[in-house]
Structure formats: structure tokens, C-alpha cells
Amino acid sequence: MSFDLARTPTLEAVATKDEQALAQDLHQRAEESITAAVARPEVVEARGAQQKAEERLTRLRKAERGLSAYVKESREQMAAGEFAAIEAMVESAASKAKIDFKKLEGLAALENQNRVATRAIGHLIEKLIPLAQIANLREEAHALMAEARAVEEIARQRAQKVLGSIREAVSQEMVLPVDMSKGVAGALVAHATRLKRRAVEISENADHVERSFQERVGGGQ
């Protein structure tokens, strides 16, 4: 190694001069650390809770779609049934026989089912789905924060390992600055920061949905 210390007081030591290979190695090591972070028990638990919340939201939305389809179909059946009941009544009255109300019995049952299904849809849209959406957002934000903390902990451990490896050099030169941002630890911290930022955005979205829900519920009382 040849250099002019007077002109270049700051030196940079790298594992290889091949920048592409260096970048690939950095990326691979960072990905391995992120995978290890995601596999930690607290992160797995948080992701599991978020998945359950998401599955509940999905089921409720599926129920709303199914009920809406039923209401549409039953309304068509009621329209056809009402026409048939009217014709039967007219025919029975015209023949001077006892007026036929039998077809109205089935129509009444269908109308009752339609009314209850419509109320169920309202309950889903106005309460159950918003609450499930809020819970899902909260759990997603919590899971992201748990992953961010795990990634930060691994970054801290790697930084301590690096610093431990260069203590001998520090003892020789007294002061040896180390830029962790260019290494794996720095990449992990940057990743954790992005996770935290996303978690905050999701949490704020949950706050917005919850405020809207509370205002709507309060206004309806």
C-alpha cells in the first residue's frame, strides 16, 4: 500500500477493491441479518397477530359481499313473487272463490329475511369492518416496529463486533474514526428506519380511521 499521508490524512480500508463485489457482499450480509431478525420470536408473534387481524377483516368483507349479493337476489325474487301473488289474488277474486293469499306467506318470509340481511350489512359496514380495519392497521404497525427493533439490535451487535476487532488499531493510534453507515450495520439501521417510518404512517392511518369511526358513531347517537 502506497500513499502520501500529508495529502491523504483520511484512509479507507475495504475488503476488496471491486466495488460491485463489495456492494453484493454488503447486500447479502444485510439480507441475512434481516432474515434472522424476522425469525426472532417477538417478530414472529407480532406477525402472527397481524395475520389473524387481517384474516378477520378479510372474512368480514367476504360476509358483506355475500350478504349484498343475497339481498340483491332476494329483492328480485320478491318482485317476481309479488307479481305472482297479485295475479293469484285477482284470479281467485274474479272466480268468486275464496281469495288466494297463500303466495303472500312465502313473500312475507322472503321480505323478513331480506330486512334482517340488510341490517346485518349495515352492522358490518358501520361497525364490524371499521373496527377490524383499525385492529389490522394497529397490528401491522406493531409488527413493523417489532421487526425494526430486532434489526436495530442485530445492527448494534454487529457494530460492537466490528469495534472489538479494531481495538488493537485504536490502541496504536489513539483515535480511529469508523463510519458504520457504509457497512452492514449502517445498512441495517437504514432498513430499520424505513420500517419505523412505515409503521408510523400506518399508525397515523389507523388514528384517522378510528377518529372517523368515533365521529360517525357519536353523530348517530
DSSP 3-state assignment of 12? coil
In a domain, 5, yes or no: no
* Ranges 57-71, 74-88, 174-188: which has the least confidence: 174-188
Q: Which of 78, 76, 120, 121 minimizes the C-alpha distance to 103?
A: 78
In a domain, 164, yes or no: yes
Burial of residue 140, with CB atoms counted within 10 A of its CB: 0-12 exposed, 13-18 middle, 19 or more buried: buried
Is there a contact between 188 and 154 (Cβ–Cβ < 8 Å)?
Answer: yes
The percent of residues in the chain predicted with pLDDT above 70, rounded, is 80
In a domain, 47, yes or no: yes
- The whole-number pLDDT of residue 164 equals 73
**Euclidean distance between CA atoms 73 and 177, whole angstroms:** 73
Mean pLDDT on 111-138: 95
In a domain, 11, yes or no: no
* Cα separation values, 178 from 2, 74, 218, Å: 21, 72, 57
In a domain, 100, yes or no: yes
Phi then psi for 2, rounded to 5 degrees? -125, 130
* Ranges 77-81, 92-96, 172-176: which has the least confidence: 172-176
- The whole-number pLDDT of residue 26 equals 80
**Residue 47 structural domain:** 40-220
**Euclidean distance between CA atoms 158 and 154, whole angstroms:** 6
Is there a contact between 80 and 126 (Cβ–Cβ < 8 Å)?
Answer: no
Average model confidence (pLDDT) across the chain: 84
Give the torsion sign (CA, 149, 155, 157, 159).
negative
**Euclidean distance between CA atoms 104 and 216, whole angstroms:** 38
* Ranges 6-20, 114-128, 148-162: which has the least confidence: 6-20
Burial of residue 145, with CB atoms counted within 10 A of its CB: 0-12 exposed, 13-18 middle, 19 or more buried: buried
**Does pTM surpass 0.85?**
no
Number of structural domains found in the chain: 1
Q: Which of 125, 122, 123, 137 minimizes the C-alpha distance to 210?
A: 137
The percent of residues in the chain predicted with pLDDT above 90, rounded, is 51
Q: Which residue has the higher pLDDT, 80 or 37?
A: 37
Mean pLDDT on 72-82: 86
In a domain, 9, yes or no: no
**Euclidean distance between CA atoms 53 and 98, whole angstroms:** 58
In a domain, 13, yes or no: no
Residue 96, phi-psi category: left (phi > 0), alpha (psi -120 to 50), beta (remainder): left
In a domain, 12, yes or no: no
